[in-house]
Structure 1
Amino acid sequence: MVRVLEPAGADERSASTAAVPDWAVVDLFCGIGGLSHGLRHAGFNVVAGVDADETCRYAFETNNNATFVGRPLEDVSGDEIAAMFPEGTRRIVVGCAPCTPFSAYSAGPGEARDKWSLVDLFMDRIAAVEPEVISMENVPRLKSFKQRRVFNRFLERLDGVGYEVSAKVVNAADYGVPQDRSRLVVLASKLGPIDVPAATVNTRPTVREAIAHLPALDAGAVDAEDRIHRAPRLSSLNLRRIRAAKPGRPWSEWADQGLLSPCHRRSTGASYKNVYGRMEWDKPSPTLTTGCFSFGRGRFGHPKQDRAISLREAALLQSFPARYEFIAADDPVWFARVGRHIGNAVPVALAAAIGDTIRTHIREHAA
């Protein structure tokens, strides 16, 4: 079952925040606020988010009623972050350090980009601010053999300043997100032992449950009632390709008929089986990326309609509320920008599960 989270208005926020009084949250690398929004639904007062991408400001502030600081974290000191917390509140710092240095899509020879690890920077700010509770979400590859030194250093530094730590790779689909998305979740607390949340659903939600109710679209069309529910145009060749594609099946099964890309005819491209594919109605979607609106960049074809999924469908598959606002009313809808915002976000339902766990932990351990 899909966990439906609607945007929290002012009255709802006042009521929900009362569940954990005297605690406040600052979200580092906040993006458009997926993690913050889930924490708000768990009853937390998110007061600020920090992110270098200024284009995230509108969505973060509009949906979370919190201050957006549009600067790289390198330029935001620990003292500045500490000052964001209202006087007298206890501190929670959360964040999703951008995973680009650890992504399989960007790793270069020798993994040289590890040298400027944003995970280390995140830890530097934790050490300076000394929050009672922290949460970090990242790609599972951070825990892999090649990246283990970065991850172990992070855990050792947490232990060195008095945190109890729990870390686990989870699948967002087990928390009500209609998407097969593995993530590394870290929780740490100075109050006492804390565990990464257990699954919150017995049956993983499906693409059908998330998006089947939306109006049908042609490729290149936009819904008259929701301009985020729009699908990109497809070339005549890609229209032929998507008509040949079967849900959940790779392009390698096509009867060729001139449909195969030249790169896929070569041995170097043959392993990329999850592009030019359709989603399946009755399973979670594949992992959404920043190119989730593009038929040629993943299995992002609609299960039934001859088009890629729309931006709104991508947002619902990330468990964003149906009324989440991504851009101002007078701004154009740029697929690349909004797709990047959605694909990079922490799924809201996973964030809400993390928030529920932190709330329970505080009630059990805080004086």
Structure 2
Amino acid sequence: MSIELRGSDYNFLRETKSKFDEVLTSNSHIRIVDLFSGCGGTSLGAVEAIRTKGLTATISAAVEWDKVTAECFKENFSPDTMLNTDITTLLDGRAGEQLTESERKFQDTCGHVDILLGGPPCQGHSSLNNYSRMNDPKNALYFKMARAAEVLKPEFIFIENVVGAVNDRSGVVQRTIERLQDLGYLISKGVIDCKELGLAQSRKRFILMASKGKSIPSTDSILKKYSLEPKSLSWAIGDLIGSAKSGDIFNEPSKPSKENLERINYLFESNLYDLPNEMRPPCHRDKKHSYNSIYGRLSWDKPSQTLTGGFYNMSMGRYIHPEEKRTLTAHEAARIQGFPDFFNFYPALKRTSLAQIIGNAVPPKLAFSCVMELIEND
């Protein structure tokens, strides 16, 4: 029998009350630090795993460089310390060397740490980013997770990134693994497609877990235990038909250009899900491509493609609603990512910021499944 969030992933998505007060307490069993926290998808999954185990948690510190995203995290979790800063100002020492003054201060701020979470910036690793081609300086931030382990000495570590992270030209993933092993951690790594966990989205992610215990779960064992049939888009957002409205940023779709509106109408009038090449703009039409999903329409009976911060724009992927002549709303995108209705994204007051926050987030179900098994092996 598969384990679902609060007993039912379907009901969890539609929860309107967080109930975090039941889990996030000052006198807790488990203390968490979340680096590169984003809006909190990883922390949400971890907290729900801890709840399922009948334990309580404290988020002692979270670090996020983007101000609005940090406000979003703070609004939802009220961590003991929310640091809106560049991680390199906190972890400025070199592996194996004595802690710097900044690192000692960060250590004091965090206190005892049981679980270290992190999703280092992944744009440079992504296969969608042809410009950087695995050679983005931001990729080096991945190694900061190893230095954080050296400074904070957590029992468990969970790191999420795109699959392309393992192909980084500097070998940052392997260097991180080797350093963590030098520090005495057992390592587990692998790829998990979130649709295999019952998400209504195909989203492959590279997972690295570390433990100071005597054993550590494999991604294969996690998939075996938490595997569910992929969910359809209808399962995730079918009940939101008719909810799109102007004046509410969370439920307001983008306004398409005249040309894109014609493309949307053509898809529906022709009962198509892929836009014919002749209907595409010249910059895309006249070049050989395999991106048939771009300018495409979603299907009710299939999972979504990988959702990105471009979900407001049909030129960025298959983001046209299956039934209504528009792109997705932020509410629908959040549901596809696995965020429940109680999660507060309203610190983001601009559409561009909201789209990036949701598109870059870690699906909570992914972190939930992995953290459940990490702490099970304690």
Task: Give the Cα separation in 1 of the matches to 2:24 and 2:301.
Answer: 37
Within-5 A mapping of 1:48-59:
48-59=61-72
Unaligned runs of 5+ in 2: 1-7, 51-56, 92-102
1:117 corresponds in structure 2 to 140
User: Contact conserved, 2:122 with 2:139, CA < 8 A, in 1?
Assistant: no
Kindly provide the amino acid, as one letter, of the partner of residue 234 in structure 1.
P
User: Contact conserved, 1:173 with 1:204, CA < 8 A, in 2?
Assistant: yes
1:191 corresponds in structure 2 to 213
Q: Which runs of 4 or more aligned residues in structure 1 lie more than 4 Å from their structure 2 counterparts after TM superposition?
A: none
2:94 corresponds in structure 1 to none
1:360 corresponds in structure 2 to 376
Tell me: CA distance 1:171–1:112, structure 2 relative to 1, closer, same or farther (3 Å): closer
**Alignment root-mean-square deviation, CA:** 2.5
- The Cα of 1:134 is off from its aligned counterpart by 0.5
User: Contact conserved, 2:66 with 2:84, CA < 8 A, in 1?
Assistant: yes
Task: Give the Cα separation in 1 of the matches to 2:197 and 2:106.
Answer: 30
1:35 corresponds in structure 2 to 42
1:210 corresponds in structure 2 to 236
1:138 corresponds in structure 2 to 161
**3-state SS of the aligned residue for 1:230?**
coil
Residue 85 of structure 2 corresponds to residue 60 of structure 1? no
Deviations 1:150-195 (A, max 9, x none): 2211111111111101001001112232110000111100112211
Tell me: CA distance 1:54–1:109, structure 2 relative to 1, closer, same or farther (3 Å): closer
**3-state SS of the aligned residue for 1:48?**
strand
Within-5 A mapping of 1:1-367:
2-3=9-10, 4=12, 6=15, 8-13=18-23, 21-43=28-50, 44-66=57-79, 67-77=81-91, 78-86=103-111, 89-108=112-131, 111-114=134-137, 117-144=140-167, 147=169, 149-195=171-217, 196=219, 197-199=222-224, 200-216=226-242, 221-222=245-246, 227-245=249-267, 249-252=273-276, 256=278, 259-268=279-288, 270-328=289-347, 333-362=349-378
**3-state SS of the aligned residue for 2:251?**
strand
Tell me: CA distance 1:352–1:241, structure 2 relative to 1, closer, same or farther (3 Å): same
User: Contact conserved, 2:157 with 2:209, CA < 8 A, in 1?
Assistant: yes
Tell me: CA distance 1:147–1:274, structure 2 relative to 1, closer, same or farther (3 Å): farther
Deviations 1:283-325 (A, max 9, x none): 1111011112212211011111110010100000001111211
User: Contact conserved, 2:161 with 2:205, CA < 8 A, in 1?
Assistant: yes
Task: Give the Cα separation in 2 of the matches to 1:234 and 1:115.
Answer: 33
State the TM-score, normalizing by the size of structure 1: 0.86
Task: Give the Cα separation in 1 of the matches to 2:173 and 2:186.
Answer: 15
Unaligned runs of 5+ in 1: 363-367
1:365 corresponds in structure 2 to none
User: How many pairs align?
Assistant: 344
- The Cα of 1:90 is off from its aligned counterpart by 4.4
User: Contact conserved, 2:113 with 2:152, CA < 8 A, in 1?
Assistant: no
Task: Give the Cα separation in 2 of the matches to 1:54 and 1:10.
Answer: 23
Kindly provide the amino acid, as one letter, of the partner of residue 123 in structure 2.
T
Kindly provide the amino acid, as one letter, of the partner of residue 82 in structure 2.
F
Task: Give the Cα separation in 2 of the matches to 1:248 and 1:23.
Answer: 51
State the TM-score, normalizing by the size of structure 2: 0.83
What's the % identity of the aligned pairs?
28
Task: Give the Cα separation in 2 of the matches to 1:318 and 1:214.
Answer: 15
